[in-house]
Structure formats: structure tokens, C-alpha cells
């Protein structure tokens, strides 16, 4: 597949300097292009952050941190960064173009390596990390995918995207940065990492090179993490009998579960690695692991990571970097600083031990070149490049024309994450279906990468559908299908539209509006009902009257005293002549008869005092003044003092006359 198709950057010149010739790799955070520096006329790689991430300050900060960190190292075993910049939405790194493959490719095709080859790869890796550690950085994501082996045998460490300062706080919340098979226990348990976390990862990589397999397996990442936390690292010789005990000890030292038991940084581990190498004879160094594959064979196509063909390479002049050695290993490790050089570059005035090591490394480098060359032949391609964080790639499945839900399920089934959903207008793609994806269909992407779905919003304008008389739920569904959003819902009485159905919309049916516009709905409350008066009726008569009016009836569980006779309706929840809706519920309260109250004695009192006393007892009062009016004194009362009378009934008092 031609990955340069439809890529807007190919053919452009960034910052007036970097001509983008071809896209060569795609990752979850960035795309890598082969480019030419038109000022210096050299081929390089441009690592360009995905435009969707360029608006995220966190990603940009991490991207720029990678550039600054690697630029400060300037080590021959680190993929060099020449420049960093931005043009519009494109944030980029200009990087060294490496021709070759990754250690993961080698392990996948070869299986276990001879100890000499494993050490020939490990030592320059430790030299690179040692320079980083002594410069104050921690890589935090060491693994075979990030070890590049050039077609000239040079070994380089790539992808410092997770790098942090040694003295910075590196804890994380809710997640662990790195790759599960190479995480140190403290990274898993506490989310923290210092130089000893890189040492642990290198020990795991060495185990994998010596045995052809990871030390801890499991059906899920959680099982692997648990093993790193609670199980000791197995000895390589348990998987490959005959390996020297010095190699077992080297792996055990680097992968101790307690950070304090490991070499404190890559420089210290490099010193121990050299001591272990010196203790091995040629037979032990060149022992062929049982069951290892030759370069004539290879893994199946589904297991391969293809190496991108290169168009050109630019020789890189090796630069030696002074790197202190650790004095804790043995007398063969000198306390004075020495130059760590790329393979095949002679060291200045080597000591006798160093000379023997150098000769072995030179032989190992020739073997490494042969191994890489054979691997590239097996893969059926020329030399290539690798700059992306993970070597496990898949391709974006075909999702165009599928519903959003179906596309999400298919992404999940392919092991890919959904990055986000963008919605765009389309006159040709039905609303809710996928228009396109980013990356595009068939694009190579990391196995744990994320894909953006571009989903159709339908046409940009549409007619408001006719919803009159339609039930509310169905009307909302029809609005959604037409591309509109349900707006405010209000209710009003209607003699012609059934209760719960739409009377009209605003905007009205047939009016054109932009899709996603909110459409207000007016829903029928049904025909209005004039509330009848049923107080004083029997419960049965009141219920019949209310039901015939289209109302529902409930009876309150508790009865009350009232002036109504026992068993009659004492109260109704809606007043007489109130406007109700058909189907509304009216609650009836039943009387248990009036409350009987003792009548107080009021004769001999003034009419005013007598009236107050009777009203306080719960009675109504009528005053009958004697004729001719002679005095305001009460002469008699209609209900004798002390007699029981219904609360609320009327007591008549009469004042003195002739």
C-alpha cells in the first residue's frame, strides 16, 4: 500500500527548509516522514505530531521534551535530534535517519541469540542509557522495539518520548507509563521510576535476547504485572541449559525486585556486563541456543513487523562521548573515564583487558551486520527505518459507511482505541454513519493506537418534519432522524389532539433549518374538563360523576370530621369548576360525621363576651336582641349549657327585653 496517498504534508517544505518526500511510519502520537534538509542537502526523518494532538499542551510539552532531552545527549548510540519546530498545526522533530531494523525484528525472526550477539547489543544500549542517566534523564520505556540496529551494525536507542529528569517527580495517577513486560516493580506499584527502572528493563531485554522469550507470561497484562511484582526473575539457564552462570548473575542483578539491590544506573550495569563478558570464553560466548531459528527461516506474515524500504541514507560520523565506568565490578574495570565508541571504532590506547574486549566486539559487530542483512533478506525488503514507540502494528479496518456503534465495536475487535468522534455535514452519507477515519482505512497503526471517527451529521440544512398528532417519544425520534434536536416541550389543552401527542412544532413543519437546530414541541394535555362539585355526595355517586367527566378517582385513606354526614364526601382535591385534563386524578376525602362539642354557659354575660366564648368552642353564633332592647346581657341560649352539639353548628343567644 502506498502510504503517501492523500497525505497533505508529502511534497510540502516545512519552515522553508525540510522537504517532505514520503511517509514512512505512523504511530499513535506522530507520523514519521523521510525528508531532505534543503540547506544541508542531507536525508533525515521528520517526526510530526498528529495535528489533533497539537492543541493539547501536555502532548506538545512531551514532544518538545523528547527533542531537548535527546539533543542534550548527543551520543553515538542515541538516535540524534537535529532540530525542533512548528509550522501552523504541524509540530515536528528533525531526526537522524537510521537504516536497518529493530531488536524486536531480530528476536522475532531469530529467536534466542548467542551470548556474544546479546552482549554486543546490550553494551551500546547501556552506553546510551548511561549517558542519559549521567545527564540527568530516565528513559522509562526501554524494550526491544526501541533498540535500532543499523544495516552497518550500529546499535542506537530510540524514542525518548517518556523521558523524565532523574530528580523530577515521575509518579502517575491512574496509569503506568511504559510497556508491561519491561516495567520495574516500583513503576507498577507506585508509578515512580528512576535510573534503576531502566536497569530493570535492560535486564529483561537481556533475558529475552538470551532465551528468545519474555521472562513472565500471562493471558492478560494484569497477570504479567503481578508476576513482576511478586515473582523473582527466572534464570536464563533454566530456559536455555548451558548458559554461563555469569549471565544468570547479570540478569539477576539487573532485575532484582528491590531497586536498591540493582546497579544504580546503566553505567554501573555496563561495568558489570563487561566483567561478565571477560569471564566467558569463546565457547560460552558463541554457544548456539537450542531451537533458535536461522535467518533462512522466519515467522509467519501475521507475526512480522515490516521494515519500511529506504530511499537513501546519509553516513553519520560517530562521535565519542566520555562516560565514567563503575568501579564496583572488578579490577578489569578501570576507575578512569574511557571513550565509549560505536562498533568498529578503535578505542584510544586500550588496556590489555580492553583490547581483548574490543576484538570480540569487532567480531560481534561483523556478526551483527550479517544477522541484520540476513533478516532484511528474509523480510523481503531493503533496509528501513523505525522511529515509532511500539513495533506491534495493525491496520485500520474498513469502517466507512458503518453506523457509529458498529464502527466502535469493530475498532475494539481490532484492538484499537477510539480517540474521538468528529461530526461533519454530508449530503451523501446518511446521518450517523462513518464518512472517514484518521488514520485512513488500511493505514498501519500501533496495536494499542487510537483512531478518530468522522461521522456524518447529515445534510447541513433540512426541513422540519410534520409531527402533528404523533406521540411525543416517536416525534423526538423522527426529529433525530431528520438531524434536529428536541427543544423545549410545553403542554396545552386540545379538543382535537389526543393527550400526549404533538399539537405543533416551532419552527413549523416544512421550514428549512440547519441540522442540529433545536425544535420546540407543543404537546396536547387533552380536552379540558370542568371539575364537578361532589362534596356532600356519597362516595359512589361522586366517583360515578367524576369518571363520566373523564377523570380518575382515588379515596384518601383517612376520614375526617366535618359537617357532612358520616360516609359522605367531605372534601375534593380540586375545587368545583377548576379546569382539569382528561385522565387527571381527583382525590376524595370521606366524612366521619361532625365532631360533638360541649356548649359553654354564656347566660348573664354580655352579648360580645358570649359570642367570643361560643366561637372559641367551635360554634357559630346568632344574636337575638330582646324587644324592646333594655340590656346587652344574655338572658338565654338555644342549646343548654353542658349539652353536646355538632362542632360548627349555630347557637342562638338572646339578650334581655320586656
In which band, very low, low, confident or very high, does the pLDDT at 615 lie, cut at 50, 70 and 90? Answer: very high
In the prediction, which pLDDT does 62 show? 73
Arithmetic mean of pLDDT, 535-548: 95
Nearest Cα neighbor of 169 from 151, 191, 144, 147 is 191
Average pLDDT of the chain to the nearest whole number: 79
Distance, in Å, from the CA atom of 447 to the CA atom of 618, rounded to the nearest integer, reads: 86
Distance, in Å, from the CA atom of 522 to the CA atom of 470, rounded to the nearest integer, reads: 11
Arithmetic mean of pLDDT, 571-594: 92
Looking at the domain that runs over 596-655, which CATH code has it been given? 3.30.10.20
Arithmetic mean of pLDDT, 55-83: 79
Within its chain, how far is the Cα of 637 from the centroid? Answer: 87
Cell numbers representing residue 133 in the block? 542517566
Q: Is the pTM of this model over 0.75?
A: no
Pairing of strands 450-456, 417-424: parallel
Arithmetic mean of pLDDT, 60-84: 80
Cell numbers representing residue 110 in the block? 531469530
Is 650 in contact with 619 (CB distance < 8 Å)? yes
- Lowest-confidence pick of 284-293, 339-348, 444-453, 475-484: 339-348
Arithmetic mean of pLDDT, 97-126: 91
* Residue at grid coordinates 357532612: 564
Query: Which distant-in-sequence residues (6+ apart) come within 8 Å of 161 by Cβ?
Result: 29, 62, 63, 66, 141, 389
Distance, in Å, from the CA atom of 105 to the CA atom of 147, rounded to the nearest integer, reads: 10
SS3 assignment, position 115: helix
Distance, in Å, from the CA atom of 113 to the CA atom of 107, rounded to the nearest integer, reads: 8
Examine the pLDDT at 591 and tell me if it is beyond 60.
Answer: yes
Neighbours of 232 (CB within 10 A): 11
Looking at the domain that runs over 393-456, which CATH code has it been given? 3.30.10.20
- Looking at per-residue pLDDT, the higher value among 653 and 309 belongs to 653
In which band, very low, low, confident or very high, does the pLDDT at 374 lie, cut at 50, 70 and 90? Answer: low
Examine the pLDDT at 23 and tell me if it is beyond 70.
Answer: yes
Question: Among positive and negative, which fits the CA dihedral 217, 223, 228, 234?
Answer: negative
Widest Cα–Cα separation across the chain: 152
Task: Give the helix/strand (H/E) hosting 362.
Answer: helix 352-379
Is 26 in contact with 386 (CB distance < 8 Å)? no
Arithmetic mean of pLDDT, 589-610: 93
Within its chain, how far is the Cα of 430 from the centroid? Answer: 28
Examine the pLDDT at 630 and tell me if it is beyond 80.
Answer: no
What percent of the chain has pLDDT above 90? 43
Task: Give the helix/strand (H/E) hosting 228.
Answer: helix 221-230
Helices 266-279 and 352-379: crossing angle in degrees, nearest 10, is 100
In which band, very low, low, confident or very high, does the pLDDT at 406 lie, cut at 50, 70 and 90? Answer: very high
All structural domains of the chain with their residue ranges: 1-97, 120-280+324-391, 393-456, 461-524, 528-590, 596-655
Cell numbers representing residue 452 in the block? 478518530
In the prediction, which pLDDT does 307 show? 29
Active-site annotation holds for 141? yes
In the prediction, which pLDDT does 292 show? 58
Instruction: State how far the alpha carbon of 614 is from the alpha carbons of 585, 619, 631, 638, in Å.
Output: 39, 6, 20, 12
Nearest Cα neighbor of 509 from 470, 543, 538 is 470
Do domains 461-524 and 528-590 share one topology? The answer is yes
The class of domain 1-97 in CATH terms is alpha beta
Cell numbers representing residue 334 in the block? 578501570
Task: Give the helix/strand (H/E) hosting 209.
Answer: helix 195-211
Is 441 in contact with 401 (CB distance < 8 Å)? no
Is 194 in contact with 169 (CB distance < 8 Å)? no
Tell me which architecture the domain covering 528-590 has in CATH. Answer: 2-Layer Sandwich (3.30)
> Could you tell me the CATH superfamily of domain 120-280+324-391?
Transferase(Phosphotransferase) domain 1 (1.10.510.10)
Arithmetic mean of pLDDT, 540-565: 93
- Lowest-confidence pick of 243-247, 416-420, 444-448, 606-610: 444-448
Examine the pLDDT at 205 and tell me if it is beyond 90.
Answer: yes
In the prediction, which pLDDT does 426 show? 80
Sheet-wide strand order for 620-624: 620-624, 650-655, 634-637
Examine the pLDDT at 301 and tell me if it is beyond 50.
Answer: no
SS3 assignment, position 475: helix
- Looking at per-residue pLDDT, the higher value among 483 and 246 belongs to 246
Examine the pLDDT at 465 and tell me if it is beyond 90.
Answer: yes
Is 265 in contact with 320 (CB distance < 8 Å)? no
Distance, in Å, from the CA atom of 215 to the CA atom of 220, rounded to the nearest integer, reads: 15
Catalytic residue among 141, 152, 194, 265: 141
Distance, in Å, from the CA atom of 306 to the CA atom of 308, rounded to the nearest integer, reads: 6
Sheet-wide strand order for 81-87: 13-14, 18-26, 30-37, 42-49, 90-95, 81-87
Helices 352-379 and 115-134: crossing angle in degrees, nearest 10, is 110
Domain 461-524 = CATH 3.30.10.20: yes
User: What pLDDT, in 10s, does the model give residues 414-428?
Assistant: 888 899 999 888 877
In which band, very low, low, confident or very high, does the pLDDT at 385 lie, cut at 50, 70 and 90? Answer: very low
Arithmetic mean of pLDDT, 96-104: 85
User: What pLDDT, in 10s, does the model give residues 510-522?
Assistant: 998 887 789 999 9
Task: Give the helix/strand (H/E) hosting 157.
Answer: strand 155-157
What percent of the chain has pLDDT above 70? 79
Examine the pLDDT at 353 and tell me if it is beyond 50.
Answer: no
Within its chain, how far is the Cα of 136 from the centroid? Answer: 31
Arithmetic mean of pLDDT, 531-536: 94
Amino acid at each position: 500500500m502506498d502510504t503517501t496517498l492523500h497525505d497533505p504534508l508529502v511534497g510540502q517544505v516545512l519552515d522553508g527548509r525540510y522537504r517532505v518526500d514520503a511517509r514512512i511510519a505512523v504511530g499513535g502520537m506522530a507520523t514519521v516522514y523521510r525528508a531532505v534538509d534543503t540547506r544541508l542537502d542531507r536525508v533525515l526523518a521528520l517526526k510530526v505530531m498528529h495535528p489533533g494532538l497539537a492543541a493539547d499542551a501536555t502532548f506538545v510539552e512531551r514532544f518538545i521534551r523528547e527533542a531537548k532531552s535527546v539533543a542534550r545527549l548527543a551520543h553515538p548510540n542515541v538516535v540524534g535530534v537535529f532540530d525542533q519546530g512548528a509550522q501552523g498545526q504541524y509540530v515536528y522533530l528533525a531526526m537522524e535517519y537510521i537504516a536497518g531494523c529493530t531488536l524486536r525484528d531480530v528476536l522475532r525472526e531469530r529467536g534466542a541469540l548467542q551470548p556474544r550477539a546479546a552482549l554486543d547489543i546490550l553494551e551500546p544500549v547501556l552506553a546510551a542509557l548511561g549517558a542519559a542517566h549521567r545527564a540527568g534523564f530516565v528513559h522509562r520505556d526501554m524494550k526491544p522495539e526501541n533498540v535500532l540496529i543499523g544495516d552497518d551494525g550500529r546499535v542506537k536507542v530510540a524514542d525518548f518520548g517518556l523521558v523524565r529528569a532523574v530528580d523530577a517527580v515521575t509518579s502517575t495517577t491512574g496509569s503506568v507509563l511504559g510497556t508491561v513486560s519491561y516495567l520495574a516493580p516500583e513503576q507498577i506499584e507506585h508509578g515512580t521510576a528512576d535510573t534503576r527502572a531502566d536497569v530493570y528493563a535492560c535486564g529483561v531485554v537481556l533475558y529475552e535476547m538470551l532465551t528468545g522469550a519474555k521472562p513472565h507470561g500471562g493471558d492478560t497484562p494484569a497477570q504479567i504485572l503481578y508476576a513482576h511484582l511478586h515473582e523473582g526473575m527466572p534464570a536464563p539457564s533454566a530456559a536455555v541449559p548451558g548458559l554461563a552462570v555469569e549471565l544468570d548473575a547479570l540478569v539477576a542483578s539487573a532485575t532484582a525486585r528491590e531497586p536498591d539491590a540493582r546497579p544504580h544506573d546503566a553505567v554501573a550495569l555496563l561495568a558489570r556486563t563487561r566483567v561478565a563478558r571477560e569471564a566467558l570464553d569463546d565457547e560460552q560466548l558463541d554457544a548456539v541456543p537450542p531451537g533458535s531459528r536461522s535467518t533462512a527461516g522466519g515467522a509467519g506474515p501475521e507475526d512480522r513487523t515490516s521494515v519500511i524500504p529506504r530511499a537513501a541514507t546519509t553516513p553519520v560520523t560517530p562521535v565519542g562521548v566520555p562516560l565514567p565506568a563503575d568501579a564496583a565490578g572488578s579490577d578489569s574495570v578501570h576507575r578512569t573515564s574511557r571513550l565509549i565508541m560505536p562498533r568498529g571504532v578503535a578505542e584510544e590506547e586500550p588496556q590489555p583487558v580492553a583490547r581483548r574486549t574490543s576484538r570480540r566486539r569487532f567480531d560481534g559487530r561483523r556478526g551483527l551486520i550479517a544477522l541484520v542483512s540476513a533478516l532484511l533478506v528474509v523480510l523481503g525488503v531493503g533496509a528501513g527505518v523505525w522511529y515509532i514507540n511500539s513495533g506491534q502494528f495493525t491496520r485500520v479496518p474498513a469502517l466507512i459507511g458503518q453506523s457509529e456503534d458498529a464502527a466502535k465495536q469493530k475498532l475494539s475487535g481490532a484492538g484499537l482505541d477510539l480517540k474521538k468522534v468528529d461530526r461533519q455535514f454530508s449530503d451523501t452519507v446518511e446521518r450517523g454513519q462513518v464518512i472517514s477515519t484518521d488514520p485512513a482505512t488500511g493505514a498501519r497503526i500501533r496495536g494499542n493506537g487510537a483512531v478518530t471517527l468522522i461521522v456524518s451529521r447529515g445534510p447541513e440544512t433540512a426541513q422540519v418534519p410534520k409531527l402533528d398528532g404523533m406521540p411525543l417519544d416517536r416525534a423526538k425520534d423522527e426529529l433525530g432522524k431528520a438531524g434536529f434536536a428536541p427543544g423545549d416541550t410545553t403542554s396545552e389543552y386540545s379538543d382535537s389532539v389526543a393527550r400526549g401527542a404533538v399539537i405543533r412544532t416551532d419552527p413549523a413543519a416544512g421550514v428549512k433549518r440547519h441540522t442540529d437546530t433545536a425544535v420546540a414541541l407543543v404537546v396536547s394535555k387533552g380536552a379540558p374538563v370542568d371539575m364537578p362539585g361532589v362534596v356532600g355526595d356519597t362516595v359512589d355517586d361522586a366517583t360515578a360523576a367524576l369518571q363520566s367527566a373523564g377523570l380518575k378517582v382515588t379515596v384518601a385513606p383517612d376520614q375526617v370530621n366535618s359537617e357532612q354526614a358520616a360516609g359522605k364526601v367531605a372534601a375534593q382535591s380540586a375545587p368545583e369548576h377548576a379546569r382539569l385534563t382528561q385522565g387527571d386524578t381527583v382525590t376524595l376525602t370521606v366524612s366521619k360525621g361532625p365532631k360533638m362539642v360541649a356548649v359553654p354557659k354564656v347566660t348573664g354575660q354580655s352579648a360580645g363576651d358570649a359570642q367570643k366564648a361560643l366561637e372559641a368552642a367551635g360554634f357559630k353564633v346568632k344574636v337575638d336582641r330582646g324587644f324592646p332592647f333594655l340590656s346587652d346581657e344574655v338572658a338565654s341560649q338555644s342549646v343548654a349549657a353542658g349539652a353536646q352539639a355538632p362542632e360548627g353548628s349555630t347557637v342562638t343567644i338572646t339578650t334581655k327585653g320586656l
